[in-house]
Homo-oligomer: A and B are copies of this chain.
Amino acid sequence: MPEIRKNLITGEYVIMAPERAKRPEDFLSPAKGQVLPAHSEGCPFCPGNEAKTPPETYRFPEGDNAAWKVRCIPNRFSALDPTGELWKKDDGLKTSMAGVGLHEVIIETTRHDLCLPQLAPEDVESVFKVYHHRFRSFYADPRVEHVILFKNHGASAGTSLEHPHSQIVGLPMAPVQVRHRAEDSMRFCSDEGCCLVCRTIEDEMTDAARVITETENFVAFIPYAALSPFHTWVMPKRHSGCFGETSGPEVLELAALMRTVLGKIHKGLDNPDFNYVIRSGSPSESGSSHLHWYMAIVPRVTKAAGFELGTGMYINPSIPERSAEFLRNVVV
């Protein structure tokens, strides 16, 4: 019989549908027809074409004359105005505010053709060092209330440019979804006297059935109520509300773990499209007893439709325990 599981951290119910359940191998991506070149003349993100982008905001390694490994630029189609002043208006039912904030593209590598898990370990470390740097510096803007860092890989995950890149957005307010989840975790913390994410990590590590891999300070697993096949969470074992407060060595450890997990997904599912996102509080919330930052990876192997739109619920045609076992066994 199908089972409905509740994801306590997101608050969402998920219908686990064994009638529809497929073997992990059934989610293999169709072969991509296209082989990308290592360098593309017309690509604004490739080295040599730096003048085709808006002036860069940061490069790694720092220092103007060095060749860059990772490069940050304002998004040319920024959703938000980086210079304006913040205003708020409440005109009857028309509640609005200025669309001010920051929106940057993080070019992850000089190579046009390599996705994150194909980069050398030290190159993935560079990407995560830059994530950490930009995340912290975005919060230094007094208009920024909430920062979201994400990656879209592949057309069905929403990418329009194929050169590997991530995006970071600094919003002038906290999204409602973030607020609802914070309320739920606060309620749990007040009822149970501990952080819901800390408790979930303990629980998953004891159970072990859904764990993909772990390091000293991080664990990657498929949640009990995963929203979709291979939906993966990467969580720091140490309680902390804010990604920005992660130590230097922890950032490198996270990079290594993400390289492994994304490598397993890339190899095991034949390079599926995916999104990942850092879900974190602000630096001022780093000491919160109920907030605990983490990363979510969502391979795009199924499609949301009217049901998801109308309910906010998901139908997951896979079994989290089997998906985790499948990824555990992929050797990278």
Interface residues of A (CB under 8 A from B): 1-6, 8, 11-13, 15-17, 19-20, 77-81, 84, 92-100, 146, 148-152, 156-159, 167, 169, 171-173, 175-178, 180, 196, 199-200, 203, 224, 275-279, 296, 298, 303-307, 309-313, 315
Contact = CB atoms under 8 A, between A and B. Distances in A.
A176 B151 CA distance: 27
Nearest to A312: B177
Contacts of A303: 156, 158
A157 B17 CA distance: 20
Number of copies: 2
A152 B306 contact: yes
A5 B177 contact: no
6 contacts: A3-B99, A12-B175, A93-B199, A93-B203, A177-B312, A276-B306
Contact of A279 (B84, B171, B310, B313): B310
Nearest to A159: B305
Contact of A203 (B11, B92, B146, B278): B92
Given A95-B8, A180-B180, A303-B158, A175 B313 contact: yes
A275 B196 CA distance: 35
